[in-house]
Amino acid sequence: MVTHTHQGTAVVTGASTGIGAIYADRLARRGYDLILIARDRAKLDKLAREITDGTRRSVEVIVADLGNKKDLGGVEAKIRSDSSITLLVNNAGVASAAPLLDSNVDQMEAMIALNVTALTRLTYAAVPGFVARGKGAVINIASIVSIIPEALNGVYGASKAYVLGFSQSLQHELAGKGVRIQAVMPGATRTPLWALAGVDVDVAMKGRVMDAGDMVDAALAGFDQGEFATIPALPDIAEWNAFESARSAMRPNLSLAEPARRYGVLTRSAA
């Protein structure tokens, strides 16, 4: 369904294929103009034509490698200068399933540059304008490995844990400023990401792989429902709420003047 209500402009990174391309289509149908960012011009141009033909929304294409500082800086400048932008979807990322001892550290550093540094800098470029205008939203695509980092490559899991933690801090800091934050944590999803990581996800996670379109539709439904954390596959949100409640319950005892008694430390105050 295509809406004629203009929602502003959405920036979608990693938009040429998979989850990013689906977000682009769904957001255009919701009434957003688009700025699509990826490395492959041919795929971006094809997607832009299809979206424009199907929705009549304006689509701008920016060819950029967000792991490259110069390209990233150009995208940051665009986001800072365009006051029509109301939504940033930080989707661009790379995955790895290789164990630490089988991983190339340069490739891990490149993963951090894309999954962590680029996401952070683009968010910093967008949020001050959102706050100034009193309206805007950031959707950060994390992963279930953000809460079970031992499931795959440790650097990949840690990078997605960063995305979740960064999003939680933003949600807290921006409360009451008119800016929405959503962290989306997909499980195994059928996208080209896994082929690039050398994993046949349908074999590795047989019977547990979600279609990318279904994942995005569920994530956007979670956004509409006001969720901060959206785990598309999780049947009962009470499980996430219990997880968060347990984390919050520890907070008063995480920083105290004395070590816990179980360590048997004779403290200075007791000496």
**Of residues 199 and 52, more confidently modeled:** 52
Which CATH number does the domain housing residue 22 bear? 3.40.50.720
Q: What are the distances in angstroms from CA 213 to CA 17, 67, 145, 197, 229?
A: 12, 26, 20, 20, 19
Domain contains 269 = no
Provide the number of structural domains found in the chain: 1
Catalytic residue status for 124: no
Could you tell me the pTM of the whole model? 0.93
> Residue 124 has what pLDDT?
98
Give the confidence band of 141 by pLDDT, cuts at 50, 70, 90: very high
Average pLDDT over residues 193-213: 75
Domain contains 1 = no
Domain contains 223 = yes
Domain contains 271 = no
Residues in the chain: 271
Domain contains 46 = yes
Domain contains 140 = yes
Average pLDDT over residues 242-256: 96
**Does 151 have pLDDT greater than 90?**
no
Which of these, 74, 98, 69, 104, lies nearest to 11 by C-alpha position? 74
Domain contains 3 = no
Taking a C-beta distance cutoff of 8 angstroms, is the pair 8, 31 a contact? no
End-to-end CA distance of the chain: 72
Average pLDDT over residues 129-139: 98
> Residue 166 has what pLDDT?
98
**Does 257 have pLDDT greater than 70?**
yes
Give the confidence band of 90 by pLDDT, cuts at 50, 70, 90: very high
pLDDT, averaged across the chain = 93
Note down the domain range covering 59.
9-263
Out of 23, 32, 124, 156, pick the active-site residue: 156
- Strands 9-13 and 179-184: what pairing? unpaired
Q: Which pair of structure tokens corresponds to residue 195?
A: 């082929």
Domain contains 206 = yes
